[in-house]
Amino acid sequence: MSEQTQAKVYDLEERTLQFARRVRLFVKSLPRTVGNFEDSKQVIRSSGSIEANYIEANESLSAKDRVMRMKIARKEAKETRYWLRLVDVGTAETTDLVCRELIQEASELMNILGAILRKLDLPRE
């Protein structure tokens, strides 16, 4: 496990950026198959969209827009996890290990974004 994956980043904007970069590096290590070509495009898009929507949520003009963007970010994390589970990692154990780490990180991001949403959805007193 690399230093980057050992130290958890608590700045969510930075953490989602690092995640998207790690996904891009991971995709380069995958076997070149027709399925992986298509799945890789999807996982790259969805992993980058997590941060893009999180940034948009933080810059939103209304509470309703912020909640919507945060929900989209969580949805993109879930979608990224799906595509990571679908790719063919081949026989390389290290590629499989990196994939499992990325799936775990996508799950953690989903949980973090879900917790943020629960706080945002609380009725105002």
Question: Are 121 and 89 contacting, i.e. CB atoms less than 8 angstroms apart?
Answer: no
> Residue 23: what pLDDT?
98
Segment 1-30, tens digit of pLDDT: 444 444 555 799 999 999 999 999 999 999
Q: Is the pLDDT of residue 103 over 70?
A: yes
The structure's pTM equals 0.86
Query: With respect to CATH, is domain 11-120 assigned 3.40.50.720?
Result: no
